[in-house]
Amino acid sequence: MSNQILVVVEHLKGKIEDITFEMLGKGKEVADSTGGELVALLLGSGVEGMASQLGAASKVIYVDDANLAEYNPQAYCKAVGSVVADTQPKMLLVGNTSMGMDIAGGVSVDQNMPFIAYASGISADGGTVTSSLYGGKMNIDSSPSGEGCIVSVISGSFPADAGRVDGSPAIELASADLSGLTVQFKRLIEPEGGDLDITQQAILISVGRGIQSDENLPMAEELAAKLGGAISCSRPIVDSKWLAKTRQVGKSGLKVKPKLYLALGISGAPEHIEGMKDADLIIAVNTDPKAPIFDYAHYGVVQDLFDFIPALSGKL
Amino acid sequence: MNIIVPIKQVPDLVEELEINSAGTDLDREWLKMKLSEFDDHALEEALLMKDDGGANVTAIALASDDIDKALFAAAAKGADRLVKVNGVSGSSTHEAAKAMANAIQGMDYDMVMTGVQAVDDRDGQLAVLLAHYLNIPHVSVVTGVTVAGDNVTVLKEYGGGMVAEFEASTPVVLGIQAARETPRYVPVAKVRRASKDATIEEVDAGDLGVDAGSTVSKMYKPDTGGGAEMLEGSAEDQASKIMELLTQKGIK
């Protein structure tokens, strides 16, 4: 095993995602305190220019292959696995993102490396990882048995600025056998333009499972109208088709930063928190006093929505 | 088209979660369990494909308390075949995936569809681990599946509402984020009938041989340090306090 902390660089449409800088920042901390080396693993085709944004790392391992031009779960698993087999890193950091969820598990099995998922914390020596589980209701500290492990990091767990360092790290070219792929990338589908862009709203009234039925939506809409805001929601509301995908806040939806985020009946799973925790003022209303959303809200109200919403509407 | 759907029960997060005396796991004695919601979506998508044009749907689960009920519920919803895998204890998703792979290996299948994640899969998501133990391709965070012959077109969701379209040849494992429709509801009476009519095949987990793991030292309720200032009183009182706040902050 080497002393390397290897960070998989995630990029889409020419832009490096923030999760990469979060992991580089954290990885640097672990590398510094353990006398290790921080290495960025860049996969793509003709994207060596991105290395100049990866200055937090002492070197960039770059796999340049036409099969990696667009993200492809099978090709990326093979390429990361091949570099991991060569470098034997002490820790492989991957985002707990749509792409990272394909890569981390695949490499874990193929390279027989322990995998700790949903990391929201990593100790400075890298030996203990805190995972956020049970919808954010429980933390679990664990340590890999044996040497070398894969950790997938929840977006927003570490400051991205710590890893956002320009520079000219050395680029080491690597190659991987990507023949015989049976998964092909076809196209990217841009989100449909909705009737309204929730990322541009100063006031969001956001509804979750607690709203219980689409018949209760007008009550929340009336409150939003009176507050001069718009309606947004958590994932289950979109899955139930009560609101359009464009209204969804969170990991697979949009990240919002309004002046006021009023969360109605949203428990606060990590996937949702990712999308709204930077709002200026977060007020959460939930019947469950232990709902994780209260850990992130500035003000909390334990109350039945159907008593609270009319009460607040009545005062506006 | 043969579709295998691995399902599992997870703690119902609506209930209070208690930690065991060792401080390393949930106190499972009184834990209320329910079908993992992502598995429910995977099952729904498989059943919709059956409704659309014919597919044979097998629900498979590792043996655990109440799992028979979950399997019979799957049958009541439309699953054709039920399989229970005996011989796995503990919470390692790697072991669960290896046991599933052993059981599935000998079956005739085109696709495996299971939930993209679960609330307790600390060592990784089942779908991708299973795919790599089976040595077949995999796509996770899937919100759309269309089959044409031996090819499957899948939609994979990225952040910000962006979606990528991939084409894969079968067999393939898909980690389902959401089915096209809200998972169907099945009345208790129908599940009871299924428990009389349907049979659960039992197979052995076989060699798990998974050595790369991790050890839990502590489970605890998160304390983010900040935490909300709680506004007490009746709904009216609370609404008044919020009005004051909004005025103070210049929002209203």
Average pLDDT of each block of 10 consecutive residues along chain A (316 residues)? 95 96 98 96 97 98 98 98 97 97 97 96 95 95 92 96 96 97 96 84 96 96 95 94 93 93 95 94 94 93 96 95
Residue B95 to chain A, least CA–CA distance (Å) = 11
- Identify whether the C-beta of residue A232 lies closer than 8 Å to the C-beta of residue A204: yes
Q: Do B219 and A99 touch (CB under 8 A)?
A: no
Residue A192 to chain B, least CA–CA distance (Å) = 8
Q: For chain B, what percent of residues have pLDDT higher than 70?
A: 98
Tokens at A312, concatenated: 């607040």
Report residue B159's pLDDT band, with 50, 70 and 90 as the boundaries: confident
Q: Do A297 and B228 touch (CB under 8 A)?
A: yes
B15/B32 Cα distance (integer angstroms): 7
**CB half-sphere exposure, A151, CA atoms < 13 A:** 35
Cβ neighbors of B107 (< 8 A, separation 6 or more) are: B2, B4, B58
* Residue whose C-alpha is closest to residue B178's, from B153, B143, B207, B150: B143
- CA-nearest residue to B36 within chain A is A134
Secondary element (H or E) of residue A204: strand A203-207
Q: In what order do the strands lie in the sheet with A260-264?
A: A230-233, A203-207, A260-264, A281-286, A299-302, B229-230
- Identify whether the C-beta of residue A169 lies closer than 8 Å to the C-beta of residue A58: yes
- Parallel, antiparallel, or unpaired for β B172-176 and B111-115? parallel
Residue B38 has pLDDT above 70, yes or no: yes
A106/B139 Cα distance (integer angstroms): 11
- The residue of A20, A138, A242 whose CB has the most chain B CBs within 10 angstroms, and thus the best one to mutate to test that interface, is A138
Q: A219 — phi, psi (to 5°)?
A: -65, -45
Local structure of residue B139 (DSSP, 8 states):
E
Q: A5 — phi, psi (to 5°)?
A: -105, 115
- The residue of A72, A92, A112, A115 whose CB has the most chain B CBs within 10 angstroms, and thus the best one to mutate to test that interface, is A115
- CA-nearest residue to B237 within chain A is A311
Segment B217-226 mean pLDDT: 81
pLDDT at A196: 87
Say how many CB pairs under 8 Å bridge A and B: 274
* Residue whose C-alpha is closest to residue A280's, from A297, A302, A266: A297
- Identify whether the C-beta of residue A313 lies closer than 8 Å to the C-beta of residue B246: no
B90-119 residues touching A, CB cutoff 8 A: 94, 97, 116-117, 119
B186-215 residues touching A, CB cutoff 8 A: 211-215
Q: Name beta bridge partners: A231.
A: A205
Q: Do B140 and A72 touch (CB under 8 A)?
A: no
* Residue whose C-alpha is closest to residue B105's, from B79, B135, B67: B135
Q: Do B120 and A133 touch (CB under 8 A)?
A: yes
- The residue of B121, B166, B172 whose CB has the most chain A CBs within 10 angstroms, and thus the best one to mutate to test that interface, is B166
Q: How many CB atoms lie within 10 A of CB B50?
A: 17
Secondary element (H or E) of residue B10: strand B9-11
Predicted-assembly ipTM surpassing the 0.90 threshold: yes
* Residue whose C-alpha is closest to residue A242's, from A210, A267, A282, A269: A210
pLDDT at B226: 63
Q: In the structure, how many helices (H) and strands (E) does chain A have? A: 8, 17
Q: Do B159 and A251 touch (CB under 8 A)?
A: yes
pLDDT at B225: 55
Cβ neighbors of A278 (< 8 A, separation 6 or more) are: A255, A257
B167 touches chain A (CB under 8 A): yes
Tokens at B138, concatenated: 């995999």
Query: Measured between CB atoms, which of B124, B226, B252 is closest to A295?
Result: B226
pLDDT at B224: 60
Cβ neighbours of B160 in A, within 8 Å: 191, 253-255
